[in-house]
């Protein structure tokens, strides 16, 4: 049964190709937004600072999303579909090496947090009037997502302790003496 299902993993390569195509589109969108910012600066001077800032922040947002798509396409392709030789894998940066689905989820959540922060900054840069209370939804969401990520990062070994009376291990305190060099 596994012999027949294992080749189906190559269907994930389609998702990788679509992610790369999406990244190319997002880079194109970022370029268009930067072109708009340059045009606004050229035609309106620095009087259009808010419009220029919004366009540059939007381009940053689109570029960040494009990079995320490329990273995930790589992680899925070379983490779950194609096995790299160890010599080739050593040359890949550590942050791009995904070993399991849990690491992929953590990377996705971290990127979502960064994306929401940039998106919130873009919203603040484009806002013309006094901000409404609804503006707080994104930063609160970022805080909740970050807290969830932190809870997901708690080591699983602490959940399966045999004795509830065992104290949790405390890390050693760093020596703040500047003359002490270990």
Tens-place pLDDT, residues 6-61: 777 788 889 899 999 999 999 999 999 999 999 989 988 777 788 888 889 889 88
| pLDDT given at position 12 | 85
179, part of any domain: no
84, part of any domain: yes
86, part of any domain: yes
33, part of any domain: yes
At 162, the pLDDT band (50, 70, 90 cuts) reads very low
Segments forming the whole domain that contains residue 36: 9-155
Taking residues 121-139, report their average pLDDT. Answer: 78
163, part of any domain: no
Three-class SS string for the chain? CHHHHHHHHHHHHHHHHHHHHHHHHHHHHHHHHHHHHHHHHHHHHHHHHHHHHHHHHHHHHHHHHHHHHHHHHHHHHHHHHCCCCHHHHHHCCHHHCCCCHHHHHHHHHHHHHHHHHHHHHHHHHHCCCCCCHHHHHHHHHHHHHHHHHHHHCCCHHHCCCCCCCCCCCCCCCCCCCCCCCC
Say whether pLDDT at 114 is over 80: yes
124, part of any domain: yes
36, part of any domain: yes
At 101, the pLDDT band (50, 70, 90 cuts) reads confident
166, part of any domain: no
Global confidence as pTM: 0.68
Say whether pLDDT at 119 is over 90: no
Count of domains observed in the chain: 1
Average of per-residue pLDDT values in the chain:
80
């Amino acid at each position: 049964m596994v012999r027949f299902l294992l080749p189906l993993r190559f269907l994930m390569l389609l998702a990788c190709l679509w992610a790369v195509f999406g990244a190319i589109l997002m880079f194109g969108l970022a370029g268009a937004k930067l072109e708009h910012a340059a045009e606004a600066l050229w035609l309106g001077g620095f009087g259009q600072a808010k419009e220029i800032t919004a366009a540059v922040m939007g381009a940053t947002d689109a570029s960040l999303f494009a990079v995320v798509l490329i990273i995930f396409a790589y992680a899925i392709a070379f983490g779950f579909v194609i096995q790299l030789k160890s010599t080739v894998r050593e040359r890949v940066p550590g942050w791009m090496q995904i070993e399991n689905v849990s690491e992929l989820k953590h990377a996705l959540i971290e990127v979502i947090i960064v994306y929401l922060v940039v998106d919130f900054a873009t919203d603040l840069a484009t806002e013309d009037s006094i901000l409404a209370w609804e503006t707080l939804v994104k930063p609160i969401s970022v805080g909740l997502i970050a807290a969830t990520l932190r809870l997901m990062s708690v080591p699983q070994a602490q959940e399966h302790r045999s004795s509830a009376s065992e104290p949790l291990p405390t890390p050693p305190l760093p020596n703040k003496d500047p003359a002490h060099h270990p």
